[in-house]
Structure 1
Amino acid sequence: MAFFCSFLYFPRNSGFSAYGNSVIPPYSKLLRVLSIRYHILNYLPKEIVNLVHLRYLALKISLESIFTIDYQWRKLRCLQTIILDSPCDSFSPNNILGMPQIRHVYFSPGSLGYLDLPKLVQGNLQTLFWLGLPLRLQTEPDFKGIPNVKELGIHLMDYDPYYKMHSSEKPWGLLPHISMEGLLNLHQLENLKFERDQWFPKCDSKVLKAFPPNLKKLTLRRTNFSWEDMAIINTLPNLEVLKLRGDAFCGPEWKATGNGFCKLKYLQVTDHPTLKHWSVDADHFPILERISLHYCPRLVEFPTGFGDINTLQLIELMDCPSRLVASVKSFQEEWRDLGNDKLVLREFYTLPKESIDEADFA
């Protein structure tokens, strides 16, 4: 009799079932790894809760399915990693976060709210995505239940769905904006991803002041900060990777100010159509190695200040205007004339001139 230790399911089509009425193979009681991420489940196979040796579980659940066995998650006492790609409100996550060995948790945005955070300290938990937080809160989360988390994703929502249960409190519009001061309690946090709903109001810059100094990687998406607020981020002393996506910052000019990013090695700027002018000096990015610019259609030229940063090795341009590409090529040629040929330029899908003109007048 053969027993499986790992099982990854890749169906030929969404209606395909490998083992009769179940996607789980027979003789699988000793499974440690189960991944069904590429097949949408219309129900949760009851056999899963009997796989007591599971360390890793990844599932994709359809909109129509409903978790009916939340109370049985406690059987999976060895589970360390869980990935649930599911619609909002399809299950209750608090039973999962309270599991004794759980280390890495990935939920779809909107599935996990701040009230689902563990009430008791879960010292093993190292990764948590995505935690939903509303714009306004009467009492902010302190994150003391997850003191050792190293990677955290926060998704800001417009309205708190739980607030309607507390009718005696202040009206929603009078509550203070969230400040996220509890993040300062996360002394092990190294990787933070912070994003907001598409129609969410502009984020208050005081949120940036709550980012802990131990951060090494920071990703911001749709936060709509002002470029002047970058002076707050560059005070993070250990930041090595900064990714700015989808209007993380807004405005036509980014002028580097402040003390600079003393440890930053990788900078990514993606989907920032309002950015036109960018100026830097060598002191602001003293050890930068790689720059990625994706869809910055109005950016006029590459900052000449990067010419004094001798650690720069790679510039990536994707969906950028031809004039920006030309300025980077000129920059690269100047380096070669000085005997420095280590700088690599990669360009993809340069925007045609008519697209650039439309962007300028949009």
Structure 2
Amino acid sequence: MSASLTPIYGEAAPKSRTRDLPLMGEGTCHRTKCDLPKKLAVFLPSQVDNLIPSKYKEDSHLSLRSLVYFHASKCRLVNWQLTRTIFEFKMLKVLDLEGVKGPYEKLPKDIGDLVQLQFLSLKKTHIQALPSSIGNLIHLKTLNLQTISKLSWDPTVQIPNVIWKMERLRHLYLPKWCGNAVDKLQLGNLINLQTLVNFPANKCDVEDLRKLTNLRKLVLNDPKHFKSLVKIFSPQSRTLSCLESLSLTSETLSFPDEVVDVRQLILSCRRLQKLHVEGRIEKLPEYHQFPPNLAKLTLWGSNLEEDPMPTLERLPNLRILSGWQMFAGKKMVCSNQGFPKLKSLLLRGFSNLEDWTMEEGAMPSLCRLEISSCIKLKMIPDSLRFVKTLQELEIYGCLFKVNMGSEGEDFYKVQHVPSVVIRN
């Protein structure tokens, strides 16, 4: 978002979305007809009865290029007809409606009139049906259709099969669950895509992914199709060889039992920097088979029978490791000089883990450690006292007692740590 987005209506907008944008109050923006705004940021109240400040309505439809909305945590339109005023700005290139909810569930077909749009976000708008006219937006480079943020009784979004027309798309964020449209979504000709989030394997041809050779980020969220998706990864082809971030996630409350062939994934994606896999893994690949620049690894529900640490600690550039039900065994060992660049470690739900041994010199760069729901773990490793870089230690839902007072038996292990939080 450009730093020249200056006009603002109402109160100051939340910093999290404005970043370094210079903002002004409602009464401080002066202009003439020769100085019409090209970029407008509007801060909305919780109940919205006006989407465009009146002083910007006249003539601005001839010049406005960017329209971004900020709002309180709850924001609701009195009537979706209010969006009609937006559709008058035919030269708009950026339209960000994130979090602006309306009383109806279908986006007006007038959205197709904004043919110059390059950026459109409908994130968290609760829209459940899109008109086919959205296919007119052939200049779009970024399209966010994550209209529903959480599971609900009716979490699907009806998407017409028109996205294939947007050949300039680089970043596509689909809803977690696409509706039961008769036609499948065709995505194979979006050869410029760099980001594809929530690929709907049940609504698309998995083979379409083979054609998206420029993808940098891919998120798959349906465990029922993990096996068919993994099959398209082949070390002998260039399919998805440019991927830098890959996620196989589940939106259910439990991890899938489907076995994931991680070895085939990583041998096909040598540029991976981030890998997130949910589901059972029978055995980890050898350490040298992992991508050399892998920096973030998330393994949830793996239930590995062998200790994963001797393999993972040899990944030279690993900085973040998150394990939830990753290991089903009783004993875990981290060796001297293991995890040389690891900054953050999360161990959660290791329900059988009893002994965790860390040799002196292990994790020399660790800054944050969280141990959660490891109910059989007897104590924290003695060698934590040698990890002088550790800044945060959090222990939740563990049955072992940690005596942290100045006279406590465990105090010497963590007395150098600035922040220690224990909740049992």
Short-chain TM bin:
0.7 to 0.9
Greater CA drift, 129-138 or 49-58 = 129-138
Give the distance between the partners of 2:320 and 2:184, measured in 1 at CA: 30
SS where residue 375 of structure 2 aligns? coil
1:195: how far off?
A: 0.8
Q: Which residue is 1:54 aligned to?
A: 140
Whether the 8 Å CA contact 1:52–1:77 is kept in 2: the answer is: yes
Instruction: Please list, as runs of the form range in 1=range in 2, the aligned pairs for 1:188-199 lying within 5 A after superposition.
Output: 188-196=271-279
Greater CA drift, 278-287 or 49-58 = 49-58
CA 1:309–1:9: 2 relative to 1, 3 Å: closer
1:158: how far off?
A: 5.7
Instruction: Please list, as runs of the form range in 1=range in 2, the aligned pairs for 1:1-362 lying within 5 A after superposition.
Output: 1-2=60-61, 3=64, 5-7=66-68, 18-20=79-81, 25-26=86-87, 27=89, 28=92, 29=114, 30-59=116-145, 60=147, 63=155, 65-68=157-160, 70=161, 72-87=162-177, 90=180, 95-96=186-187, 98-107=189-198, 115-120=206-211, 122-123=213-214, 125-130=215-220, 134=226, 141-142=233-234, 144-155=238-249, 178=261, 180-196=263-279, 202-207=280-285, 210-245=289-324, 247-257=325-335, 260-321=338-399, 323-324=401-402, 326=404, 331-333=410-412, 336=415, 341=416, 343-347=417-421, 350-351=423-424
Give the distance between the partners of 2:220 and 2:291, measured in 1 at CA: 18
Give the distance between the partners of 1:253 and 1:19, measured in 2 at CA: 58
Greater CA drift, 76-85 or 4-13 = 4-13
1:76-97 deviations in whole A, cap 9, x for unaligned?
Answer: 2332222222326757887336
Higher radius of gyration, 1 or 2: 2
The runs of 5 or more residues in structure 2 that have no matched partner are 1-59, 93-113, 149-153, 251-255
CA 1:93–1:118: 2 relative to 1, 3 Å: farther
Give the distance between the partners of 2:84 and 2:267, measured in 1 at CA: 43
SS where residue 118 of structure 1 aligns? helix
Structure 1 runs, 4 residues or longer, greater than 6 Å off? 9-15, 21-24, 91-94
Q: Which structure dedicates a bigger proportion of its chain to strand?
A: 1
Which one has more relative contact order, counting CA pairs under 8 Å at least 6 apart? 1
1:278-310 deviations in whole A, cap 9, x for unaligned?
Answer: 111123323222212233333222110111222
Report sequence identity in percent. Answer: 20
1:97-116 deviations in whole A, cap 9, x for unaligned?
Answer: 64133211110786588934
Give the distance between the partners of 2:262 and 2:367, measured in 1 at CA: 33
Q: What is the TM-score when the length of structure 1 is the normalising length?
A: 0.72
The runs of 5 or more residues in structure 1 that have no matched partner are 160-175, 197-201, 352-362
Give the distance between the partners of 2:140 and 2:271, measured in 1 at CA: 27
Greater CA drift, 236-245 or 140-149 = 140-149
Whether the 8 Å CA contact 2:336–2:359 is kept in 1: the answer is: no
SS where residue 125 of structure 2 aligns? strand
Q: What is the TM-score when the length of structure 2 is the normalising length?
A: 0.63
Whether the 8 Å CA contact 1:264–1:288 is kept in 2: the answer is: yes
